[in-house]
Amino acid sequence: MSTPSAGGDEPRRPTMTDVARVAGVSLKTVSRVVNNVPTVDPELAGRVLAAVSELGFRRNDMARNLRAGSTSATVGLLIEDLANPFYAGIAAAAAQYALEHDTMLITASSEEDAERERALLLEMCQRRVDGLLVVPAGDADHVYLRPEIERGTPVVFLDRPPRNLLADTVLIDNAAGGRQAVEHLVAAGHERIGVISDWLSISTMAERLAAAEQALERAGVPYRPDLIAYGLHTVPEAAAAVARMLDAPEPPTAIFALNNRLTLGALGALNGRTEPVELVGFDDFETAAFMPWRLTVVSYDAREIGRMGAELLFKRIAGDRSRPRKVIVPTELVVRSAG
C-alpha cells in the first residue's frame, strides 16, 4: 500500500543532489553557487538558481555544521523562569547580541531545580551548542560542567556564581544594593526594618541579606530576628510573611524585599492597609513608578547582564583562553515618594 516515491503525500526537503539533477550540473557546482563562490559560469549559475527556486531548496545547516567541524551557530541560555521579567530582559539582550554574531539562542527554564538544570545543560551540549549562558539554580553543583568546558564548550554564569567551578561570571553588585537600601531606610528614620528573602541557597539572596544585616549593625539598629523572614519563594508566601510581621506586637515601619517577586508579595500584604509602611524592593519593574506606596527600588540594567554575558561568551568561543573574568553590574537606588 505504500508508494515510496508517489510524490505529494510524503513531503521531503530537496537536497543539493536534487538541485544538481534538475539543473544538469554536478553537486559541487550547486554548492559553489549556494555559497557564492565567484568562479562559476554565469550560465550554469543561472540554471542552478532556477532549480533552487523551482524546488524550494534551502541548505541544510545541520549537515553543513557537521561537516564544518564542531560549531552549530547556536548558544544555550538557561534561566530560572523565562516568564519573569528580570530574566526575560536578560534573555532578550542575549538573543540580540547572539543574533549580531549570526548565532541563535536556545532557551530553557530550570525552575530553580538543580537536576533539571543539569539535564538541560548536558542536553544542550549534546546538541553541540557553541557555548552556554547559565543562571544557576540555587543549590546546583557545577563540577559536571568541567568536562564540557575542557572539551571546548565555554560557559558563562549570569546573576549567580558557579559552585565548584571556575568560569566567567556576570553578577549584580548585591552587597552595594543591600547596603544602599538599608542606609536609605535608616536615614529616613526607620528603626524596625523588616527584611524578606527567598531561599538562602540562592547566592544573590544570601549576599543581599548579609549586606543588609551588616548595614543595620553599622547603623546601630538592634538586631531583630523576628523581622527577618526567608525561604519565601512565591508571591503568596511573601505576602503571608509580611502580613504576619505587620500583625505582630512590634510591626516594622519599613520593609526591604530582596527580589521582585517578594516585592509583589509585600505590595499584596500592604494593599488595603493603612499603616504608613515604607517599602524598598530589589529589582526595578515597569509599573513601580505608579504604585501608591513610597516604592523605592534597587535598580540595575538587567539587559546589561545578558549583553555582557554574551560578550564574554563570544570571546571564549572565538578562542580566548585567558583566566576567567568576573564582571559586576552596578546598582542604583531609585528613590520614589508617594504619588
Partner DNA sequence: GTGTCCGGAGACAACGTTGGCACCCGCTCG
Partner DNA sequence: CGAGCGGGTGCCAACGTTGTCTCCGGACAC
Smallest distance, a second copy to C-beta of residue 191, A: 26
Asked if 234 interacts with a second copy (CB under 8 A), we say no
167 contacts 313 by C-beta, under 8 angstroms: no
- Which of 267, 277, 280, 308 is close enough to bind a second copy by CB under 8 A? 267
- Taking the C-alpha atoms of residue 87 and residue 255, their distance in angstroms, rounded to an integer, is 24
| Closest to a second copy by CB, 224 or 336 | 336
Q: Which of 66, 104, 248, 289 binds DNA (CB under 7 A)?
A: 66
Q: Strand, coil or helix: what is 33?
A: helix
Q: Which is nearer to a second copy, 179 or 299 (CB)?
A: 299
Among 2, 3, 36, 39, binds DNA (CB under 7 A): 39
Dist. CA 39–CA 43, nearest whole Å: 12
Decide: is 50 part of the binding site for DNA (CB under 7 A): no
Give me the residue label for grid cell 524546488.
55
At residue 132, the 3 state secondary structure works out as strand
**Cell numbers that stand for 212 in this block:** 543588609
Degrees to nearest 5, angle at CA 143 with 140 and 149 = 120
Pick what 41 binds: DNA, a second copy, none; C-beta below 5 to 8 Å, kind-dependent: DNA
Stretch binding a second copy (CB under 8 A), from 130-138, 157-165, 194-202, 261-269: 261-269
Q: What does 122 bind: DNA, a second copy, none (CB cut-off 5 to 8 Å by kind)?
A: a second copy
Options 255, 264, 312, 317; binder of a second copy; rule CB under 8 A: 264
Residue 70 contacts DNA per CB under 7 A: yes
Closest listed residue to residue 82, CA positions, set 49, 58, 106, 57: 106
Binding region for a second copy (CB under 8 A) out of 36-44, 185-193, 207-215, 285-293 = 285-293
Contact region for a second copy (CB under 8 A) — 121-129, 155-163, 191-199, 240-248? Answer: 121-129
CB < 8 Å & 24+ apart, contacts of 153-157 = 153/125, 153/129, 154/313, 154/316, 154/317, 155/131, 156/131, 156/132, 156/309, 156/310, 156/312, 156/313, 156/316, 157/309
CB of 67 to DNA, least distance (A): 3
Give ∠ CA 135-140-146 in degrees, rounded to 5: 85
DSSP state of 320: -
* Residue whose CB is less far from DNA, 3 or 35: 35
- Per-residue contact track with a second copy, 161 to 200, x per CB under 8 A? ----------------------------------------
Residue 267, binding choice from DNA, a second copy, none, Cβ under 5 to 8 Å by partner class: a second copy
Residues 193, 185 contacting (CB under 8 angstroms): yes
Q: With both helix axes pointing from N to C terminus, report the angle between 302-317 and 85-99 in degrees, rounded to the nearest 10.
A: 40
Interaction of residue 16 with DNA, rule CB under 7 A: yes
Determine if 60 is a binding residue for a second copy (CB under 8 A).
Answer: yes
β pairing state of 278-282 and 326-329:
unpaired
Which residues of this protein are in contact with a second copy, per CB under 8 A? 11-14, 56, 58-63, 65-66, 70, 72, 74, 81-85, 88-89, 91-92, 95-96, 99, 104-109, 122-128, 147-148, 150-152, 264, 267-268, 271-272, 285-287, 289-292, 303, 339
